[in-house]
Amino acid sequence: MNWRGVWAIYKFEMHRFRRTLWTGLAVPVITTSLYFVVFGSAIGGRMTEIGGVPYGAFIVPGLMMLSLFTESIFNGSFGIHMPRFTGTIYEILSAPLSAFETVLGYVGAAATKGLTVALVILATAHLFVPLTIEHPVLMLLYLALVALTFCMFGFIIGVWAKGFEQLQVIPLLIVTPLTFLGGAFYSIDMLPPTWRQITLFNPVVYLINGFRWTFFGTADVAFGTALVATFAFALACLAGIWWIFRTGYRLKA
């Protein structure tokens, strides 16, 4: 293992985040506060409880997941897209690094950033609503798993994208809508039966509900099912990355 090389990429990426540290952290704090002002006070007043959980607390896992998805995809894709765009990727490709080591550096850094943002949101939310987390260790592990998965997904997008515009396409047109429709801010049990059936095809439902279960011990789908779905997505991303490095797809001519 070329651990020094992995560490070099990791530090390089973290350094990039540090340059925009304050905006990077102010954004989730402000957004979370806004959600609480709008949803928590305005709507929450009318929807007091969902499945025994106060509405303010109920939306916290969804909020964390929404940000974690966007952050992870953005950082995971930007990290590898930038050197492709500027041409500095020549150095990564010519270094004595395996595919695993390269991905570990980029995805590790992006996941660190994503996790930090998610935890900042949790802390901010805690200022607005009382929260007790039923399975804190599982919560952190699950958060890390989702972060890694979406950073890998981001990495794939970063390799696939032909320009910065395309980096935005998938997060904006697919992931965010699926998150909003996936029960980030409501329980899918509140939907009419047909809609509920359709919603179950949305993979994000499982991610959010798995995460919500670690908070409250209850959710719309069983934790085991959620875990299987999450691992399936993680494996699909791993396979995608393996294929990219095997074929050199858009990395090597």
Does residue 24 touch other proteins according to CB under 8 A? no
Q: Quick check: 95 binds other proteins (CB under 8 A)? A: yes
What's the CA gap between 85 and 108, in Å, rounded?
A: 21
Q: How far is the CB of 83 from other proteins (least distance, A)?
A: 8
Q: Identify which range of 3-11, 111-119, 165-173, 236-244 contacts other proteins by CB under 8 A.
A: 3-11
Tell me the window of 95-103, 141-149, 153-161, 192-200 that interacts with other proteins (CB under 8 A): 95-103
Applying CB under 8 A, does 21 fall inside the site for other proteins? no
Amino acid, res. 79: G
Tell me the C-alpha distance between 125 and 106, whole Å: 29
Q: Residue 19 interacts with other proteins (CB under 8 A)? A: yes
Among the listed residues 21, 26, 51, 90, the single contact to other proteins using CB under 8 A: 90
Give the one residue of 14, 87, 135, 212 binding other proteins; rule: CB under 8 A.
87
Helix locations, the chain, DSSP H? 3-19, 21-35, 55-86, 89-94, 99-128, 136-160, 164-170, 176-181, 193-199, 203-216, 223-247
CA distances from 75 to 24, 47, 79, 152 (A): 11, 35, 6, 10
Q: What are phi and psi of 18, to 5 degrees?
A: -65, -30
The span from the CA of 86 to the CA of 65, in Å, is 31
Considering the complex, what minimum distance in angstroms separates the CB of residue 87 from other proteins?
A: 3
Report the alpha-carbon distance of residue 22 to residue 18 in Å, rounded.
Answer: 8
Question: Binding other proteins by CB under 8 A: which of 22, 48, 52, 94?
Answer: 94
> Contact between 139 and other proteins (CB under 8 A)?
no
Distance CA 216, CA 49 (A): 13
Amino acid identity, position 229: A
* By CB under 8 A, residue 100 contacts other proteins: no
Q: According to the binding rule CB under 8 A, does residue 4 interact with other proteins?
A: yes
Task: Please tell me whether residue 109 binds other proteins under the rule CB under 8 A.
Answer: no
Q: How far is the CB of 84 from other proteins (least distance, A)?
A: 11
Pick from 21, 37, 88, 217 the residue near other proteins by CB under 8 A: 88
Going from the C-alpha of 64 to that of each of 109, 139, 143, the distances in angstroms are 18, 11, 9
Is residue 253 a contact point for other proteins (CB under 8 A)?
yes
CB of 11 to other proteins, least distance (A): 8
Positions in the binding site for other proteins (CB under 8 A): 2, 4-5, 7-9, 12, 15, 19, 86-88, 90-97, 248, 252-253
